[in-house]
C-alpha cells in the first residue's frame, strides 16, 4: 500500500472518529494499536506528511510504547518497560542508543531487569549490542 497524505488523513479521521485510546480497546485485533503503531513507525522514519497532526493523534490515542518510540529523548523512563525494546528493529535500536542520556537510562533499566532475573535472551542481546 502506498502511504500518502490521503491515506494519512483517512487514518487520522478514523482514529478521531473512534476517539478511544489503545488501552481502552479490548478486542483483538486492536485497530487502534495497529494504526497508531504504524503511524509511530512512519513518524520515526520521517515518512509522515503532517507531523503535527500525527503527533497529536499518537499523544492522544497510542499505547505508552508508541508514545515512547516517538519521544524517546524526552520520555520519563520511570514508566519505561524493557520489553518494548524487543519490538524495535535494529535501525530503531541503533538510533535510540546513539543518544547518550537515553542509552544510560535504558542500560540502567536492563541492568535492573537482569538483577531481578527478568532479562530474556533477546533483551540480553539488545543490551550487549546497543546499550552496554
Q: How far is CA 34 from CA 29, 38, 74, 82, 110, in A?
A: 8, 6, 24, 20, 27
Q: What is the pLDDT of residues 75-121, one digit of tens each?
A: 999 999 999 999 999 999 999 999 999 999 999 999 999 999 999 99
pTM given for the model: 0.82
Could you tell me if 89 and 126 are in contact, meaning their C-beta atoms sit under 8 angstroms apart?
Answer: no
Q: What is the pLDDT of residues 4-19, one digit of tens each?
A: 888 888 888 888 888 8
3-state secondary structure of 122: helix
3-state secondary structure of 84: helix
Whether pLDDT at 129 is above 80: yes
Sequence spans of domains, the chain: 1-70, 72-132
3-state secondary structure of 112: helix
Categorise residue 117: left if φ over 0, alpha if ψ from -120 to 50, beta otherwise: left
Of the candidates 63, 82, 78, the residue with the CA atom closest to the CA atom of residue 122: 82
Give the pLDDT band of residue 71 (cuts 50, 70, 90).
very high
Amino acid at each position: 500500500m502506498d502511504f500518502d497524505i490521503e491515506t494519512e488523513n483517512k487514518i487520522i479521521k478514523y482514529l478521531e472518529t473512534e476517539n478511544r485510546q489503545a488501552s481502552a480497546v479490548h478486542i483483538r485485533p486492536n485497530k487502534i494499536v495497529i494504526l497508531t503503531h504504524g503511524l509511530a513507525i512512519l513518524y520515526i522514519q520521517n515518512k509522515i506528511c503532517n507531523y503535527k497532526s500525527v503527533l497529536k493523534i499518537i499523544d492522544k490515542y497510542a499505547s505508552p510504547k508508541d508514545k515512547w518510540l516517538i519521544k524517546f529523548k524526552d520520555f520519563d523512563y520511570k514508566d519505561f518497560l524493557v520489553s518494548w525494546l524487543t519490538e524495535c528493529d535494529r535501525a530503531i535500536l541503533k538510533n535510540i542508543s546513539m543518544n547518550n542520556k537515553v542509552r544510560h537510562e535504558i542500560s540502567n533499566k536492563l541492568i535492573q531487569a537482569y538483577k531481578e532475573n527478568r532479562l530474556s535472551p533477546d533483551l540480553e542481546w539488545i543490551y550487549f549490542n546497543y546499550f552496554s
